[in-house]
């Protein structure tokens, strides 16, 4: 709704700094010493570069074939000009169907992104497509997707620069209470390797940045929970028992669920996203206050039986 | 063949590295060290996993050829020079200045792509500045586009090797035809392509995977510039292979290249200094114009230059707009300086005090001597008598035949260089048995534990992660990480008596040459969790076993159970 009371579908105003496409420098800065972590310098919002700039008409547009329907660009447009068309891929409204724009393109700063409402419900086709689409992304695009999802749900995060074989930690950052976390991103079959890599990540962060071991939260970011009988759960419990490290697990589906609900994530403190002896259900950790939150795809919230 | 180094990064990052160096060092004459420092300061690189100033210190090794960061930036610098963004100074090829062209790339910010595209098309050999091995008359990327267009719109990696990158010249239809013929012949089958590549490999005496490495940067450019996308094509025998198809954009560019006037160094050499200077100005600013720069502010200068160069352009049959000629990539330093005078005086960049303050060990590494552990051999009753008879006979035979333990151990290791897990796991346990320790390995499939084997020391088990030479000739950090997990799982799940402070071992065929990364891992894990990881290679283990048999000594059990780092003789 506009100040004069008119409402309607937003339209792309071609704002000069295109938040739907680019992140600004300050979003990529990390607190304190961790800012020395060599990260992916990409400012791209879209993990697949599907959203582009049409210089002729001064509007954004989406290459539908490349869009994986993650919703990142949608959440960043201050004018609500992008939506998930047919619940599948992003689409920029440029025609101003409700006749809301009065002046020409606003080539300047845009108002702070202010999100409310919901981008889509978790039962749209884009949600079900995530495992296939994300699973097919290459390493660089996957980490970009994860970084941007973490950022949009409110976490200070940076992912490893692709090609830097010296740094093995996939991502670092801070929860909202400014506790550092380290993350391993694994969307393929290597999920079993994440826990041991996380032990190393904690050791590296401790020895090179001097954060106490028990103040670092190790997080495994995966696409889908492995089968209930997978060794993964047992190894995570072994690590907690022997080293006192509580490895958390969060899925890309859960991050997308938060994004689509325009919700934030506090971080990985306390019991959040841990794997205890009981049943695992991320729907309960997301704080989305929706009694019947549908699982976007099998394995997104709960291990497959 | 043209050899483009493979800096192993995205094009995005490649440009970020240049910008970081430019922003910190522009206006100075710099060397590679300065660039290393700038890039590290911008958090764009690490050295052996170290960041910030520590990384710079680690990169100050006496032996530069082994420093990964220095080597990587050397490749970047070479490519920056190829693109005309960095020039050597007349007095030294190891000192550089940033060019006006590079400055404009940085100024373009996120929209550097169109200008990068121009610079890529601007790459040309020979030039008065770049020295490349071989004798080329080639504008490689323009040629790649033309060859792609002429070869059904696509080109695979291997076809790039046998075709455009191996051609001595791209001048004239005959050269294009001959490259196209080579490629079309190779498209008969995979075998034909492979044998053409092998022929290049033999003729140039370069291994095939090295040849393939030279195509990585060109392919990254084709892909990231949106000129080509990866798809499948079929050999004439019907089998499929991966190749790169021109996109619409790539095709449009190929058309532009066909329609352009391609000016080479020897063409420019025929001009008078005045004409050359004017041509440089026109070509450069037209290039910027095509890249979306507003050239109105230099309109006057451009008009003056155009007036001088009109007759030259007419002779060449162009109005200056469809010219393939990038002055910063084609002219000599003197000619460039004449056309684009530099106002700011450049001086040699002096390292700030911060760099000097970072104390580095002579070879630039932290002191790692605590991780290299010579074995402490003690007299032991059981030493030399355990293990299978056949193995002891074999070892004895080698010792007698060669007289020295070193040689016998090396020969034994050589015999086992192709062992698979089935042979290697028992071998490792048998060698520990010869040293007088109880040791056993797990049979695949019956292992709820993760360890591959264990050795008992004083009633407690040290888990062993084993890598046979067929799994990896040189141990990797992956194996060390698995040993860490073995220890955690053994402590958690039990099954064998152990204690947290006892080592978890890794035994493999050979230690890696570059042990920095493994050393860091071992140190970091000990610092964070007080867990010990000990690494032993086959030759060392055999050496100890031979000593056990000859001298009745064995490795001190306390040293073995407390091993942290590399056991070495
Ligand atoms: S879609 Fe939104 S954020 Fe993007 S350019 Fe248009 S108005 Fe700006
Ligand atoms: S929804 Fe995601 S993939 Fe699609 S254009 Fe937006 S950011 Fe890109």
pLDDT (tens digit per residue) in B148-199: 999 999 999 999 999 999 998 998 899 999 999 999 999 999 999 999 999 9
- pLDDT tens, residue by residue, B396-407: 999 999 889 999
Instruction: Tell me what percent of the residues of chain B surpass a pLDDT of 90.
Output: 44
Partners of B45 on chain A (C-beta within 8 Å) are: 38, 161, 164
- pLDDT tens, residue by residue, B314-332: 888 777 678 899 999 988 8
Does B485 contact A208 at a Cβ distance shorter than 8 Å? no
Supply φ then ψ for residue A92, to 5 degrees. -95, 125
Partners of A38 on chain B (C-beta within 8 Å) are: 43-46, 51
Whether residue B17 is predicted with pLDDT greater than 50 in this model: the reply is: yes
The number of the ligand nearest the C-alpha atom of A73 reads 2
Domain boundaries, chain B: 369-567
ipTM, 2 dp: 0.84
* Beta bridge partners of residue A219, listed in sequence order: A183, A248
pLDDT for A280: 83
Give the β-pairing of B154-155 and B86-89.
unpaired
Instruction: Report yes or no: A35 and A125 within 8 Å, Cβ to Cβ.
Output: no
The number of the ligand nearest the C-alpha atom of A74 reads 2
Whether residue A112 is predicted with pLDDT greater than 60 in this model: the reply is: no
Interface test with B, best of A144, A196, A204 (most B CBs within 10 A): A196
Instruction: Report yes or no: B490 and B481 within 8 Å, Cβ to Cβ.
Output: no
pLDDT for B356: 31
Please, is A176 exposed, middle or buried when counting C-beta atoms within 10 Å of its C-beta (0-12, 13-18, 19+)? Answer: middle
Smallest CA-to-CA distance from B83 within B225, B267, B249 is with B225
* Beta bridge partners of residue B467, listed in sequence order: B508
pLDDT for B80: 92
Q: Which residues contact B507 (CB under 8 A, 6 or more apart)?
A: B428, B453, B464, B465, B466, B467, B535, B536, B537, B538, B541
Give the tokens for residue B289: 């114009």
pLDDT for A50: 94
Q: Which residues contact B414 (CB under 8 A, 6 or more apart)?
A: none
Min distance A4 CA to chain B CA atoms (Å)? 36
Between the CA of A50 and the centroid of ligand 2 the distance, in Å, is 6
The angle formed by the CA atoms of residues A187, B11 and A17, to the nearest 5 degrees, is 85
What is the rounded average pLDDT of the residues A165-189? Answer: 87
A·B CB contacts under 8 A: 104
Decide: A18 in ligand 1 pocket, CB within 6 A. Answer: yes
Chain A contact residues (CB < 8 Å to B): 22, 35-43, 140, 161-164, 166-168, 195-197, 199-200, 202-204, 206-208, 213, 235, 237-239, 241-243
Smallest CA-to-CA distance from B440 within B459, B422, B423, B427 is with B427
Min distance B69 CA to chain A CA atoms (Å)? 10
pLDDT for A290: 66
What is the rounded average pLDDT of the residues B449-467? Answer: 91
pLDDT for B451: 87
CB crowding B472-495: b at 16 or more within 10 Å, else e: eeebbeebbbbbbbbbbbbbbbee
Does B46 contact A166 at a Cβ distance shorter than 8 Å? yes
Partners of B520 on chain A (C-beta within 8 Å) are: 204
Cα gap B430→B411, rounded to integer Å = 18
The number of the ligand nearest the C-alpha atom of A83 reads 2
Cα gap B568→B533, rounded to integer Å = 14
Share the mean pLDDT of chain B.
85
Give the residue carrying structure tokens 């008065």.
B128
- pLDDT tens, residue by residue, A251-293: 999 999 999 998 889 888 778 888 877 778 888 888 887 667 8
Does B45 contact A241 at a Cβ distance shorter than 8 Å? no
Cα gap A27→A16, rounded to integer Å = 17
Identity of the residue in B13, B492, B529 whose CB atom sits nearest the CB atom of A238: B492
Instruction: Report yes or no: B106 and B19 within 8 Å, Cβ to Cβ.
Output: yes
Partners of A162 on chain B (C-beta within 8 Å) are: 9-10, 13
- pLDDT tens, residue by residue, B220-248: 999 989 999 999 999 999 999 999 999 99
Domains of chain A, earliest start first: 128-284 (3.40.1350.10)
Whether residue B414 is predicted with pLDDT greater than 60 in this model: the reply is: yes
Between the CA of A63 and the centroid of ligand 1 the distance, in Å, is 15
Instruction: Tell me what percent of the residues of chain A surpass a pLDDT of 70.
Output: 88
| CA quadruple B323, B329, B335, B337: dihedral sign | positive
pLDDT for B192: 94
pLDDT for B413: 93
Residue A35 pLDDT level (bands cut at 50, 70, 90): confident
Between the CA of A55 and the centroid of ligand 1 the distance, in Å, is 13
Cα gap B453→B421, rounded to integer Å = 12
Q: What is the DSSP letter of B259?
A: H
Smallest CA-to-CA distance from B48 within B558, B555, B515 is with B515
Interface test with A, best of B16, B23, B42, B43 (most A CBs within 10 A): B43
Identity of the residue in B49, B493, B529 whose CB atom sits nearest the CB atom of A167: B49
Cα gap B271→B268, rounded to integer Å = 6
Supply φ then ψ for residue A63, to 5 degrees. -80, 100
> By mean pLDDT, which of A89-103, B289-303, B480-494 is the weakest?
A89-103
pLDDT for A102: 46
Smallest CA-to-CA distance from B51 within B60, B62, B39 is with B39
Smallest CA-to-CA distance from A171 within A26, A34, A33 is with A34
Decide which of B308 and B516 is more confident: B308
Residue ID of nearest Cα to ligand 1 atom 3: A77
Between the CA of B250 and the centroid of ligand 2 the distance, in Å, is 24
Instruction: Report yes or no: A199 and A239 within 8 Å, Cβ to Cβ.
Output: yes
Identity of the residue in B49, B110, B493 whose CB atom sits nearest the CB atom of A238: B493
Does B491 contact A242 at a Cβ distance shorter than 8 Å? yes
Residue B348 pLDDT level (bands cut at 50, 70, 90): low
Give the tokens for residue B489: 């799982």
Q: Which residues contact B525 (CB under 8 A, 6 or more apart)?
A: A199, A200, A203, B484, B531, B533
Does A207 contact B523 at a Cβ distance shorter than 8 Å? yes
pLDDT for A109: 46
Between the CA of A51 and the centroid of ligand 2 the distance, in Å, is 6
Does A162 contact B482 at a Cβ distance shorter than 8 Å? no
| Helices and strands (H, E) in chain B, number of each type | 26, 18
CA A62 to ligand 2: nearest atom: 5
Decide: A72 in ligand 1 pocket, CB within 6 A. Answer: no
Decide: A14 in ligand 1 pocket, CB within 6 A. Answer: yes
Min distance A127 CA to chain B CA atoms (Å)? 27
pLDDT for B387: 87
For residue B389, the tally of other CB atoms under 10 A from its CB is 7
Highest mean pLDDT: which range of B179-183, B271-275, B378-382:
B179-183
pLDDT for B52: 54
Residue B357 pLDDT level (bands cut at 50, 70, 90): very low
Smallest CA-to-CA distance from B477 within A201, A159, A212, A181 is with A201
Min distance B41 CA to chain A CA atoms (Å)? 8
* Beta bridge partners of residue A49, listed in sequence order: none
Q: Which residues contact B539 (CB under 8 A, 6 or more apart)?
A: B409, B410, B412, B413, B510
> By mean pLDDT, which of A198-202, B425-429, B555-559 is the weakest?
B555-559
What is the rounded average pLDDT of the residues B463-483? Answer: 93
Between the CA of B225 and the centroid of ligand 1 the distance, in Å, is 24
Smallest CA-to-CA distance from B211 within B425, B456, B2 is with B2
Instruction: Report yes or no: A260 and A286 within 8 Å, Cβ to Cβ.
Output: no
pTM given for the model? 0.64
What is the rounded average pLDDT of the residues B300-323? Answer: 83
Whether residue B31 is predicted with pLDDT greater than 70 in this model: the reply is: yes
Instruction: Report yes or no: B567 and B535 within 8 Å, Cβ to Cβ.
Output: yes
Smallest CA-to-CA distance from B460 within B566, B568, B558 is with B558
Q: What is the DSSP letter of A1?
A: -
| CA quadruple B198, B199, B205, B209: dihedral sign | negative
Residue ID of nearest Cα to ligand 1 atom 6: A12
Between the CA of A90 and the centroid of ligand 2 the distance, in Å, is 6
Cα gap B151→B145, rounded to integer Å = 10
Cα gap B511→B566, rounded to integer Å = 9
Sheet holding A248-251: strands in order across? A156-159, A171-174, A180-186, A217-222, A248-251
- pLDDT tens, residue by residue, B485-542: 999 999 998 888 899 999 999 999 999 877 778 888 899 999 999 999 999 999 999 9
Helix, strand, coil abundance in chain A, percent, nearest 5: 30, 15, 55
Give the β-pairing of A89-92 and A82-85.
antiparallel
Q: Where does B369-567 sit in CATH, by number? A: 3.40.91
> By mean pLDDT, which of A287-296, B196-205, B422-431, B560-569 is the weakest?
A287-296
**Side-chain-side CA neighbours of residue A177 (13 Å):** 9
Between the CA of A261 and the centroid of ligand 2 the distance, in Å, is 16
Q: Which of A74, A127, A260 to mutate to test the pocket of ligand 2 (most atoms within 8 A of CB)?
A: A74
Instruction: Tell me what percent of the residues of chain B surpass a pLDDT of 70.
Output: 89
Decide: A28 in ligand 1 pocket, CB within 6 A. Answer: no
């Amino acid at each position: 709704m506009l100040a004069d009371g008119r409402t309607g579908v937003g339209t792309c105003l071609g704002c000069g700094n295109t938040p739907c496409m680019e992140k600004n420098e300050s979003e990529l800065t990390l607190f304190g010493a961790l800012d020395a972590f060599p990260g992916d310098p990409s400012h791209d919002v879209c993990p697949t570069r599907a959203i582009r700039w049409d210089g002729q008409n001064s509007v954004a547009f989406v290459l539908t074939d490349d869009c994986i329907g993650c919703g990142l660009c949608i959440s960043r447009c201050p004018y609500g000009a992008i939506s998930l068309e047919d619940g599948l891929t992003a689409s920029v409204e440029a025609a101003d169907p409700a006749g809301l724009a009065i002046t020409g393109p606003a080539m300047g700063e845009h108002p702070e992104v202010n999100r409310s409402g919901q981008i889509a419900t978790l039962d749209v086709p884009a949600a079900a497509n995530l495992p296939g689409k994300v699973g097919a992304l290459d390493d660089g695009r996957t980490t970009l997707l994860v970084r941007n999802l973490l950022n949009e749900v409110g976490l200070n995060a940076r992912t490893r620069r692709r090609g830097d074989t010296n740094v093995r930690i996939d991502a670092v950052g801070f929860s909202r209470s400014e506790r550092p976390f380290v993350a391993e991103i694994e969307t393929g079959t290597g999920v079993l390797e994440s826990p041991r890599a996380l032990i190393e990540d904690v050791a590296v962060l401790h020895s090179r940045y001097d954060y106490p071991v028990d103040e670092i939260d190790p997080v495994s970011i995966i696409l889908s929970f492995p089968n209930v009988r997978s060794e993964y759960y047992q190894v995570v419990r072994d690590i907690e028992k022997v080293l006192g490290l509580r490895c958390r697990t969060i899925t890309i589906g859960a991050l997308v669920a938060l994004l689509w609900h325009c919700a934030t994530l506090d971080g990985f403190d306390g019991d959040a996203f841990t794997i205890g002896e009981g049943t695992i259900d991320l729907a309960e950790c997301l704080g989305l206050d929706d009694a019947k939150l549908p699982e976007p795809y099998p394995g997104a919230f709960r291990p497959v039986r | 063949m043209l050899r483009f180094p493979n800096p192993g990064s995205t094009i995005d990052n490649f440009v970020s590295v240049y910008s970081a160096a430019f922003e910190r060092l522009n206006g100075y004459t710099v060397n590679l060290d300065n660039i290393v420092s700038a890039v590290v300061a911008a958090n764009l690189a690490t050295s052996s996993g170290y960041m910030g100033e520590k990384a710079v210190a680690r990169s100050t090794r006496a032996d530069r050829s082994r420093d990964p960061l220095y080597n990587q930036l050397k490749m970047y610098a070479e490519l920056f020079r190829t693109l005309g963004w960095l020039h050597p100074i007349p007095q030294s090829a190891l000192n550089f200045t940033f060019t006006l062209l590079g400055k404009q790339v940085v100024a373009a910010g996120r929209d550097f792509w169109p200008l990068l595209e121009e610079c890529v098309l601007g790459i040309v050999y020979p030039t008065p500045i770049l020295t490349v091995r071989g004798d080329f008359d080639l504008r490689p990327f323009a040629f790649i586009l033309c060859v792609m267009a002429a070869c059904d719109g696509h080109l695979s990696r291997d076809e790039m090797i046998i075709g455009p990158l191996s051609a001595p010249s791209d001048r004239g239809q005959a050269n294009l035809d001959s490259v196209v013929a080579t490629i079309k012949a190779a498209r008969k089958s995979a075998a034909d392509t492979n044998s053409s590549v092998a022929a290049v490999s033999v003729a140039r005496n370069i291994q095939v995977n090295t040849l393939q490495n030279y195509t990585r940067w060109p392919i990254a450019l084709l892909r990231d510039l949106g000129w080509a996308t990866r798809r499948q094509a079929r050999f004439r025998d019907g089998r499929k292979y991966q190749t790169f198809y021109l996109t619409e954009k790539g095709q449009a560019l190929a058309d532009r290249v066909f329609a352009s006037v391609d000016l080479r160094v020897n063409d420019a050499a025929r001009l008078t200094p005045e004409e050359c200077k004017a041509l440089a100005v026109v070509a450069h600013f037209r290039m910027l114009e095509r890249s979306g720069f507003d050239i109105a502010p230099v309109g006057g200068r451009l008009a003056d230059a155009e007036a001088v160069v009109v007759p030259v352009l007419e002779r060449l049959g162009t109005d200056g707009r469809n010219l393939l000629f990038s002055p910063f990539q084609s002219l000599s330093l003197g000619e460039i300086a004449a056309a684009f005078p530099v106002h700011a005086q450049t001086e040699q960049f002096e390292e700030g005090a911060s760099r000097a303050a970072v104390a580095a060990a002579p070879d630039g590494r932290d002191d790692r001597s605590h991780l290299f552990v010579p074995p402490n051999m003690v007299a032991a009753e059981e030493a030399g008598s355990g293990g299978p008879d056949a193995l002891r006979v074999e070892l004895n035979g080698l010792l007698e035949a060669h007289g020295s333990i070193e040689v016998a151990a090396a020969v034994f290791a050589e015999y086992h260089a192709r062992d698979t897990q089935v042979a290697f796991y028992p071998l490792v346990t048998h060698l520990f048995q010869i040293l007088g320790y109880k040791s056993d390995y797990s049979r695949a499939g019956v292992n709820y534990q993760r360890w591959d084997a264990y050795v008992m020391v004083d009633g407690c088990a040290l888990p062993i992660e084993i890598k046979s030479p067929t799994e990896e000739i040189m141990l990797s950090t992956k194996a060390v990480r698995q040993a860490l997990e073995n220890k955690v799982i053994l402590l958690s799940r039990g099954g064998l008596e152990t204690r947290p402070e006892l080592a978890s071992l890794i035994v493999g065929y050979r230690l890696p040459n570059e042990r920095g990364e493994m050393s860091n891992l071992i140190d970091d894990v000990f610092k964070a969790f007080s867990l010990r990881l000990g690494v032993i290679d086959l030759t060392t283990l055999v050496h100890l076993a031979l000593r056990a048999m000859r001298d009745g000594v064995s490795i001190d059990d306390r040293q073995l159970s407390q091993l942290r780092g590399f056991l070495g003789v």
